Amino acid sequence: MDTHALSAFIEVADTGSFSRAGERLHLSQPAISKRIAALEDALGQPLFDRVGRRIDLTDAGRTLLPHARRVLAELEDARRALSRLSGTVSGRLSIGTSHHIGLHRLPPVLRSYTQAYPDVDLDIHFMDSEDACEEVAQGRLELGIVTLPGEPPEVLRMHTVWRDPLSVVVAPGHPLATSGSPSLRELAAHPAVLPDARTYTHRIVMRALQAHGVAPRIRLSTNYLETLKMLVAIGLGWSVLPRSMLDDSIVALDRPELALSRDLGAVWHRGRTRSGPAQALLGLLGVSV
């Protein structure tokens, strides 16, 4: 059975779309359709019901899906095991990381890595940490370098690489910047611009504020910390950002009772074989597994 066809089948099942599956696999929609048609011909049964724009798995498709996932996972494990047996660090390493970590933490690590292991093809995907963790859990990525979840899925192992202290920040001309040391109640009276509600960072901030009985008035939210920094700098509201992002465009407020921080680090699948390239990168990050 063609593994490329199985990959296309899984992506269509996961996304509910031939075009989105094509985007994930870097293929055209007709190419995806051709692979699905070939798989259906080989099995002698339709795998999807196509009603208008809706695509649903048939009974045959639902039966095949867990088997297809296991087949591809076993093949990927075999590839990783063989890469470790070869004695050389080479091949492909698929990584998911956030834009913030990719910009502010990973460059020196990846520079050292590519110099030490020039035969590794790095396949780097920039995405939200939450999505990267899910991709690793599903076996589509081998490693995630992410903001670590407070309650990770059971299938994931994780290791803290960097502690990332956070600060409440405002624009230099914001009323809170000139009021000495504003209370949390005063802070809550002003609009906030915070990370999106589905992010781990948002949950860290909200838990800390709620512990002090404070409910922020959120004006807007976004996943990108660089965008939040710009919104703070133009005076749209206060936010919580990593201290590593502080510069003259924003002012940190002294709120020691919050003691905000998050953990950044690596996640990998507990039950999957790690490749030689993955082991080498984890070693550079100070992870011993």
SS3 state at 181: coil
pLDDT at 151: 84
Q: 128 with 47, same domain?
A: no
Q: 175 with 247, same domain?
A: yes
| 170 bridge partner residues | 251
Q: Give 248's pLDDT tier (boundaries 50, 70, 90).
A: very high
Q: 123 with 7, same domain?
A: no
Count of structural domains within the chain:
3
pLDDT averaged over the chain?
89
User: H helices within 86-192, ranges in order?
Assistant: 99-104, 106-116, 129-137, 184-188
* Mean pLDDT for the stretch of residues 108-129: 93
State the amino acid at position 111 in one-letter form.
R
- Asked if residue 97 is part of any domain, the answer here is yes
| Whether pLDDT at 179 is above 80 | no
The answer to whether 210 touches 163, Cβ cutoff 8 Å, is no
| pLDDT tens, position by position, 194-206 | 999 889 999 998 9
Q: 132 with 273, same domain?
A: yes
Residue 188 CB: number of other CB atoms within 10 A? 18
Which structural domain range is residue 274 located in? 89-162+264-284
| Whether pLDDT at 180 is above 80 | no
Q: What is the bridge-based pairing of β-strands 191-195 and 217-222?
A: parallel
* Dist CA 20 CA 142 (whole Å): 21
Q: 222 with 193, same domain?
A: yes
Domain-ending residue, one of 23, 52, 82: 82
pLDDT at 3: 86
Query: Maximum CA pair distance of the chain?
Result: 74
Its pTM surpasses 0.85:
no
Q: What is the percent of the chain where pLDDT is above 90?
A: 54
State the amino acid at position 118 in one-letter form.
P
* Dist CA 229 CA 190 (whole Å): 16
Q: Give 35's pLDDT tier (boundaries 50, 70, 90).
A: very high
Q: What is the bridge-based pairing of β-strands 48-51 and 54-57?
A: antiparallel
pLDDT at 278: 92
| Whether pLDDT at 229 is above 90 | yes
- Asked if residue 40 is part of any domain, the answer here is yes
pLDDT at 47: 92
Domain-ending residue, one of 33, 58, 82: 82
User: H helices within the chain, ranges in order?
Assistant: 3-15, 18-25, 29-43, 59-85, 99-104, 106-116, 129-137, 184-188, 200-211, 225-233, 276-284
pLDDT at 83: 66
- Asked if residue 289 is part of any domain, the answer here is no
| Whether pLDDT at 215 is above 70 | yes
CATH of the domain at 211: 3.40.190.10
| pLDDT tens, position by position, 37-91 | 999 999 999 999 887 778 889 999 999 998 888 888 888 777 777 766 666 778 8
* Mean pLDDT for the stretch of residues 181-190: 86
| Whether pLDDT at 157 is above 90 | yes
Domain-ending residue, one of 35, 63, 82: 82
- Asked if residue 188 is part of any domain, the answer here is yes
pLDDT at 92: 86
Q: 200 with 181, same domain?
A: yes
